[in-house]
Each structure stands twice: as structure tokens, then as C-alpha cells.
Amino acid sequence: MPLFEYSCAQCGFLFEELVFTSGLTIACPQCGSPQVEKQLSTFGVAHAASLPCGEGACPMPESPACGEGACPGCAN
């Protein structure tokens, strides 16, 4: 079941809606207006390169600077 984000064109309220079938009319839960626009939503994925220094992201964990945010191999 896809979860979509919508923005109300009338009052500007942002909300999420589970959409079970296509063609369903979505109305704003705040003001009731059917004039809503589906928003482009993103999702977050963590991977080793996005972890803080010293928490698995460092390709050089033996470095004395590892965990200090100054590893030569980290983006931090």
C-alpha cells in the first residue's frame, strides 16, 4: 500500500494518505478541499559512507584520528 504526500492548494496543509486504489478522490483533512496536489517525496537510506566518523564509515579505523571527525578516509 503506497503512502503518498499531498499539499492542499486551498489552505497549504501538508498531509500523507494511504492510497489503496487509483482514481480515489483525496480531500484535505484540515479544510476538506479536494484541490490537493501529490508531492514528490523522498526516502532516506543510510549507508556506511553516511555514518559518523568512528561508527563504521571510516575505511581506516586504525587511524589515531578515527572517531575524532578527522579521519583521513572519512568525509567528516
Question: Reading across the β-sheet that carries 14-18, which strands appear in turn?
Answer: 14-18, 3-8, 36-38
**14-43 confidence digits (pLDDT tens):** 999 988 887 788 999 999 999 999 998 766
Q: How many alpha carbons fall within 13 Å on the CB side of residue 24?
A: 11
Instruction: Delimit the domains of the chain by residue range.
Output: 3-38, 44-76
- Report how far apart, in Å, the C-alpha atoms of 57 and of each of 3, 29, 65 are: 31, 42, 13
The overall pTM is greater than 0.85: no
Contact 39, 31 (CB under 8 A): no
